[in-house]
Structure 1
């Protein structure tokens, strides 16, 4: 009986020792506090960044620059995969894709945001911003802060503003010198109630055609003209299918760099800080580059014999501003008096009042 008891005692003792030895590392680490900032460090963070323009445009180049800076700063721990030319999503569905978490980052034209956040239509008001300095103050000041706060209601986070440039009118029907010259014309536009109302005010019809289908629409005659920045007219070769261009500089095309809220909040704070740092550096470079590109490409367009370019005079500019004034009263109820007052203050500061 005693030998049997001794044997059982040895077996039990051995098993207990094996359990302690086998799980010893776990006993050591189980009391350590978990470091939230270290979670996921062994897994590469992938950010899919979708946009709708060509790689050689201000936005396309900015997206590439941002991806490079992030990868360098993170030592390869974060990878930004850029998808240009609307290969994943176009203007009509990119914002919904971001809100639904199907994509992590986009940089839509501010007009495309306005379909979900109406206050963003503010940037489509004609002659709201009369200089690059006015645009900077709007984007980076109180107006930008108020608009970014409204994004959170739709589960999006605004991280930066990227410039493209002022928009100008083009047409195949004839020179656009006075507002009435647009009467009866079919104009391709971004989807925005303000832009639609702007052209309806002067008797034009609007066609919200996706950007990457615009060249074909102009070439086939489905539309007569459109409003675009110099860099977009140049990169998409709209000058080959438009005979007249007027440098109206009536509205500004800018992009908001947006990220899906749930994805953003799931990133460790250190990673958020790194991304913001890279984006800040890219934005400084990209906004300066956009302005330089528009200036140099305008010089190239002026040498192209297929399109006639008219520079709007101060008197013509005043005529257009007066013609578009009813839009401000029409949309004050949608945009809010606070935002509209800030726009009018900028107009007065930079020469509109």
Structure 2
């Protein structure tokens, strides 16, 4: 038996050596022990970041920048997996998916929060942002902090505001004065405030999600829509719309949100690294949004496929006056504290 065991061991060692030679690999027993790289991978924290726009938009580029910064600042301990273009979740499903922990980060347009958290409607009021300085005062000031505080009750942590740009009207006929909206089917982000805004102008608002927009315009299901110049350009909406009015009547922005439970479980050093990465990505996004809208406006003019009308101050005042009932309707649900802050914002100009 002893002789047989010795022979068996000899044969086994021979087979191992043959395999090592045949595959050109080091199969020493030391290599079969603790693998530091595998251990490192097993400890990696995964953050699934879902969004619905193209990767070449300000938000898409900023999410990718954030992912790279997190990787660098955490020494590859955290991996941000990016899912653009609604491939993982649509606007309708991404907030519930975040709240239940299926994904960890999203950056929805803040309009998607206003129907469930009424205070967020303050950012949708027409002409609430008069210029880029207003945007920055709101995003980085008391109003932004007050709005972030409303997310706590829903297992969401507000992390940052990201800009896209002022909204313009595109259509297949000139829309210059408020009365020109009458009977026009206008696609909007599903929102009570935006719905009321266009009903006040006697238009017919049609709520839909962003990735359905081009098809709806191409098929004639809607006559026009409101959007930023960067979205009009990157989504090629100029191919299915003949007119654009530069009205700056509203602002499209995003709120970067993380699942609160997930955030609370992160080590303090990881939280700090994520905050630093997000601060850099936010600065990158907000500067890019301004420059991209400016440069792509020039490209739209060069293309010449749309007639572009830039609103005069007299026309803007007529729109503001026509849209005042929207303020009156939503002020009670938004709350006095936030409405007072908006009044201070406008008086500070």
TM-score higher than 0.5 here? yes
**Kept in 1: contact 2:188–2:194 (CA 8 A):** yes
Q: What residue number does 2:124 align with? A: 124
> Which whole-Å CA distance do the structure 2 matches of 1:195 and 1:164 have between them?
17
Q: What residue number does 1:325 align with? A: 324
> Which whole-Å CA distance do the structure 1 matches of 2:271 and 2:73 have between them?
12
Deviations 1:78-118 (A, max 9, x none): 00000000001111111111111111000000101213212
> Which whole-Å CA distance do the structure 2 matches of 1:148 and 1:240 have between them?
38
> Does residue 342 of structure 2 align to residue 343 of structure 1?
yes
Q: What residue number does 2:155 align with? A: 155
| Residues 41-52 of structure 1: pairs in structure 2 closer than 5 A | 43-52=43-52
> Does residue 169 of structure 2 align to residue 169 of structure 1?
yes
The two structures have a TM-score, normalised by structure 1, of 0.86
| Residues 251-330 of structure 1: pairs in structure 2 closer than 5 A | 251-330=250-329
**Kept in 2: contact 1:129–1:346 (CA 8 A):** no
Q: What residue number does 1:79 align with? A: 79
Unaligned 5+ segments in structure 2 are 1-39
Q: State the 1:41 CA deviation.
A: 9.5
> Does residue 219 of structure 2 align to residue 220 of structure 1?
yes
- Per the alignment, do residues 233 and 276 of structure 1 end up closer, same or farther by CA in structure 2, a change over 3 Å counting? same
Deviations 1:159-193 (A, max 9, x none): 11111000000111x11100111110111101111
| Residues 63-74 of structure 1: pairs in structure 2 closer than 5 A | 63-74=63-74
> Which whole-Å CA distance do the structure 1 matches of 2:134 and 2:324 have between them?
18
> Which whole-Å CA distance do the structure 2 matches of 1:232 and 1:86 have between them?
15
Q: Secondary structure at the match of 2:164?
A: strand
Q: State the 1:209 CA deviation.
A: 1.1
**Kept in 2: contact 1:164–1:253 (CA 8 A):** yes
> Does residue 233 of structure 2 align to residue 234 of structure 1?
yes
Q: What residue number does 1:95 align with? A: 95
> Which whole-Å CA distance do the structure 1 matches of 2:41 and 2:133 have between them?
41
Q: State the 1:42 CA deviation.
A: 5.9
> Which whole-Å CA distance do the structure 1 matches of 2:250 and 2:346 have between them?
13
Q: What residue number does 2:107 align with? A: 107
Which aligned segments of 4 or more residues in structure 1 are displaced greater than 4 angstroms?
Answer: none
The count of residues paired between Structure 1 and Structure 2 equals: 310
> Which whole-Å CA distance do the structure 1 matches of 2:132 and 2:96 have between them?
30
CA RMSD, aligned part only? Answer: 1.2
**Kept in 1: contact 2:164–2:286 (CA 8 A):** yes
Unaligned 5+ segments in structure 1 are 1-39
Q: Secondary structure at the match of 1:341?
A: helix
**Kept in 1: contact 2:190–2:209 (CA 8 A):** no
